Amino acid sequence: MKLNKLFVAVSTLLVGTSVFAAQQPSSPQSAPTIHHEIKHEHGIPEVINKNVPQAQSVYKSIEKKDFHSRDESLLSNEMMALAACDVNSFATSNSTSLINMIKSQGASCVNELFSAASNIQQAAYSSDNMYAVANHVKGLSQSYTGGGDPDIEAIFLYLRAGYYVEFYNNNVDFISWVKPAVKGAIDAFVNNVHFYDDNDAHGKTLSEVIITMDSSEQQDVYLPVVKEWLSRWNQSYGGKWNMRSAVNGIFTILYRGQYNANFKTLVANDTTLISRLNSFTQQSWMINSDSEYLIANAARELGRMKKYSGAAIQSTVDSGLNTIFSTYQMYGNGDAVWLGAADTASYYGNCNDYNICDYGEQLEAQVLSQTYTCSPTIKIRSQNLTSVQQVSACTTMGAEETYFHNKMQSDNVPIPGDNNEQLQVNIFDSSSDYGKYGGPIFGINTNNGGMYLEGDPSVVGNIPNFVAYEASYAKPDHYVWNLEHEYVHYLDGRFDLFGNFNSPTEKVVWWAEGVAEYVANQDNNQAAIDTIHDGSTYTLSAIFETTYDGFDQDRIYRWGYLAVRFMFERHFSEVKAMLAETRTGNWTAYKTRLNTWSANYSNEFTQWTQTVKSDTGDDTNPPTNESPIAVINGPYIGDTITAINFSSNGSYDPDGIIASHTWDFGDGSVNNTANPSHTYSSVGQYVISLTLIDDKGATTTITTSADISGAVTPGNNLQNGVSVNVAGVQDSETFFIMEVPTDATDLSFDISGGSGDADLYVRFGSAPTTSTYDCRPWKGGNNETCIMADVQAGAYYVMIRGYNSFDTNLKGSFEGGSSDGNMPDACAVQGPQTGGQLQDGSEVCLGSGISWLTIGDVSSHSSIAITSGNGTGNLDLEFSNLGWPNGSNVQGASYKSGNSECIYLTNLSEYWGYIKVLGESDGASLVVDYDTAGCR
């Protein structure tokens, strides 16, 4: 039966393949804490999602990283196919001719039926055509031999597009006998011996069949198929892109089955389904793999089963949810699964049942733990920005604000009644993190390139939020994707458009997106010019009628930009008059003005676009290809046991894309990924080169160095006056490091006792070798001493080399010393804290008593130095890379009298570091420094 009314919301409850594919480091364990009673909260009302057939297809995919532009390298084959596509050929009442056209034109052309003109859809989708096509593909499915079939794929795409068209096109309505015919076609494919084959070509065809199960509203009929795939799914299937995409369709069936009455009756008693969902969510091999989005979707659908209150399945559902919440972390290992389950379980069930109430607020505090104030009007909250990025982002927004006000001639006067006095910029570490955490924290759909949330500017204290993520392909030095574009939305909302996002009663998308593109790109927007070249032109009146429906990015962004630029260049006085109307919310006058522009300027606009085209895109005199800009992020330092992470972040191509990366590590090894890791086997200094080639063949090469020393084994950190045992065979080399504070005296290192013959080498600042050292006693046996003259503050490296096999004791000792000299008094400018995440180089004021602190990304740095000082009392420090220090896992400690403590560690293997501060102190400061020669 056709629905008469449609309430559609973009679903945030199913995630796409690009969202959870990239591997992310785990978050730290929760610090030991006292548990408090959590208030129960049900959340916000749900937007009704009617049973709308899907229009999504891999043939029209836009890579998520580029919200505003297609990736031509990915879509070149598609564009070639579409260039030859004749969608009008489908508009026929001759079913045989239609079937032949579907086969000859292929799936990419059939996909155009989703957005074809109404009359073409009406002719292509008669009930007779649907019936004949379904019966034809039934025969093809019965004889399918596996390995994929483009004809079957295209025909099932035609069928599911038919249900989409029937839903939206009031002139298309299928007779009752169409659905059984479609079911017969699906059944023929399901019953084929190759239905559960495991290869990527098969997955491409399988995907269309599974989506058709859903689009034809037969979710109840194919529940057995859903259960079978849940049971069969394994790591072999998960290694194939199309198989992942196809099997992900079963979760769409479960999600939209909630609008199918018979499905709901069946599911309420189907404990087998729930058990298989439970088992699916415990296949931990999917965590941090390309299959992670499937296990996350399974967790969401398991949580959604709480909507069947009182049904027989509930105890099994609760068991599965509790297992998820105990197995995975809210922020860390398996967080995509944890958050997926929490989202639906807390909405349909009682969050107190699982102790997950207020998880969004807890997640927000952990993820966006960095804060940086640009100015009284802009504050940045971020997950992992460097200080350089923070300053760059602030500078960029400041410069753009000045340009905006000059361009608009706004006199910096906000719209009367607009109380948005400060913008909060929220920046996730990657698009994957944005996809995982943006929804739970901000309640938004994250299948986009960022979002501006204005709130209600009429409310005093309202804080608008810009939500974004870091990306290597964004503009340096801030690397925040869409920063420039989205910041204009804030300025436009505060100074140009009255009210909030929903206030305008006339269409303003052309202006809102166009002016954001214009201010962000100014006159340098080649992507907009290219839309004129490819022929996807729009009239001025059509641009003014633009909405977000169908999300035509060329129309919304490119042609919005062109219309705004045209009006600024040719009719700026009219723009100022329009802004006077939009600033007061006079939408009737605004609409009248646009109608006048359409009548008066349409021909001029068309001529202007041709001028822009000839000025910038004359194919007889093409512009010179610019070489890519290479950023190598060196020099690098490391040792012979730890992989060095090399980075090309910041590299970009000014007029295209980077097609290839080639790293030469200087030791005969090369790598062709953008950000590789490499381990050197020998000590020395190596010349590193990075060569970039763009999509038009231009090449850039840049070099740096890597200084590789002998490796200090994790945990080989000498403490003042503490003897350690060391043993080895002939020619073995074991390295240690000792951090010496400021003003230390009488520094010495000695080996003594044991058996065999070991040699002692000492060097300040870097590891000694057999030819480079500050002290080498040259004595036989195991009794050697180095007394260091001119003691320096920092790291002393010790090498014990076996002249013969040996077993002896090593000790480093010094007198006095203070680390307070380079320790600012953090307590003079901030309040005390006893928990949270520390940032490189940022001092914190310690609270009295025990504190639990974390450090992120320690494994990618050559060293960390933890320094404390100032204040009164006596504190001690313990550190572990293996979890919270508990006495048995401590890898570094400092127990000196007073508050001046130091722990210096190198070559740590895990992402998170954990610090425990013991004792009683008042007014003490603590800081962590990466990649230094020692403590402060």
- Residues annotated as catalytic are 486
DSSP H/E element including 600 = helix 587-616
Q: Phi/psi at 778 (nearest 5 deg)?
A: 55, 55
Q: Is the distance from CB of 300 to CB of 341 less than 8 angstroms?
A: yes
Q: Cβ distance 305 to 259 under 8 Å?
A: no
* Structural contact between residues 844 and 862, judged by C-beta atoms closer than 8 angstroms: no
Q: What are phi and psi of 737, to 5 degrees?
A: -140, 145
Nearest CA to 136 among 88, 97, 90? 97
The structure tokens listed for 936 are 């402060």
In this structure, what token pair is assigned to residue 762?
A: 């000492």
Cα gap 694→247, rounded to integer Å: 36
Q: Work out whether strand 378-382 and strand 784-787 pair parallel, antiparallel, or are unpaired.
A: unpaired
Q: Which helix (H) or strand (E) holds 129?
A: helix 127-142
| Paired residues of 813 in beta bridges | 748
Across the chain, which distance is largest between two alpha carbons, in Å? 100
Count Cα neighbours of 187 within 13 Å in the Cβ-side half-sphere.
9
The whole-angstrom separation of Cα 699 and Cα 719 is 51
DSSP three-state, residue 841? coil
Helix axes 559-570, 526-533, angle to 10 degrees: 100
E strand or H helix that includes residue 725 = strand 724-728
Q: How far is 870 from 819, CA to CA, in rounded Å?
A: 9
Q: Is the dihedral of CA 608, 610, 613, 618 positive or negative?
A: negative
Handedness of CA 333, 334, 338, 339 (dihedral sign): positive
* Among 780, 784, 931, 791, CA closest to 864: 931
Helix pair angle (249-256, 223-232), 10° resolution: 140
The β-bridge relationship of strands 851-855 and 835-838 is parallel
User: Do residues 700 and 650 make contact, with C-beta atoms less than 8 angstroms apart?
Assistant: no
